[in-house]
């Protein structure tokens, strides 16, 4: 796409940042685990299990039950997880309050948006389409888009390039240690939401700012990037 190096680029994580997806992810996890003869996982465990992608979610759920399985069986469970998840991807998932309004405000100041998630690209795009905001993002990067997951900085840096942005005018917005580590490695400021999926308060991981509602994002972002009109 055309480059926009002078405009601010806001790169968002997805699960736990833009959208509360725990219900559908944990519901899919239970469907797979119970089908394999394992116990279900309490929804309240979502904050400590989510954030690293579906495969890691299964591994973490198994570990919570002191279980290990052969790699081949894990890959079969992972494939079934992805297939089932797409059938209910937005049954219970919702954008967090204020997301659309914050995007509108930032866009009025010339902001450009992208997503960099450890979710696989296909369901990430499908979810954003179902939630009605896919067309707001110049680029959507999933864990498999470049074959490298966060916290490696490569997917973030390549997302910035693909969205036509400038790393010096980019902010990462996330909810976890992974997002903060990714931004730090890419030398990008990071704003963390405190309502996402993390087993410890996200402030403990040292983001540049913490917000509790998306209405706070434009002012927080302005501390790092001066707006430029489109």
Catalytic residue set: 13
Omega before residue 92 within 30° of 0, cis: no
CB atoms within 10 A of CB 45: 16
Structure tokens at 138: 């110049």
Name the E strands within 53-164. 94-95, 112-116, 139-141
Cα-flanking dihedrals φ and ψ of residue 22, to 5°?
-60, -40
Pairing of strands 9-12, 190-193: unpaired
Cβ 130 vs Cβ 105: under 8 Å: no
C-alpha distances (whole Å) from 157 to each of 172, 206, 208 are 11, 20, 19
């Amino acid at each position: 796409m055309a480059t926009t190096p002078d405009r601010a680029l806001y790169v968002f994580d997805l699960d736990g940042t833009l959208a509360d997806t725990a219900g559908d992810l944990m519901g899919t996890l239970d469907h797979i685990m119970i089908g394999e003869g394992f116990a279900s996982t309490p929804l309240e465990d979502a904050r400590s299990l989510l954030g690293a992608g579906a495969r890691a979610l299964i591994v973490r759920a198994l570990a919570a039950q002191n279980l290990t399985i052969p790699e081949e069986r894990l890959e079969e469970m992972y494939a079934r997880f992805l297939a089932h998840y797409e059938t209910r991807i937005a049954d219970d998932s919702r954008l967090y309050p204020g997301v659309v309004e914050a995007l509108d405000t930032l866009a009025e100041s010339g902001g450009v948006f992208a997503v960099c998630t450890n979710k696989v690209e296909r369901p990430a795009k499908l979810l954003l389409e179902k939630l009605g905001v896919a067309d707001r993002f110049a680029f959507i990067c999933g864990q498999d888009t470049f074959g490298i997951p966060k916290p490696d900085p490569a997917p973030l840096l390549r997302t910035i390039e693909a969205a036509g942005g400038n790393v010096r005018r980019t902010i990462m917005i996330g909810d976890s240690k992974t997002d903060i580590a990714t931004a730090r490695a890419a030398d990008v400021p990071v704003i963390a939401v405190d309502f996402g999926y993390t087993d410890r308060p996200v402030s403990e991981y040292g983001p540049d700012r913490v917000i509790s509602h998306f209405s706070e994002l434009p002012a927080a972002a302005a501390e790092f990037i001066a707006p430029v009109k489109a």
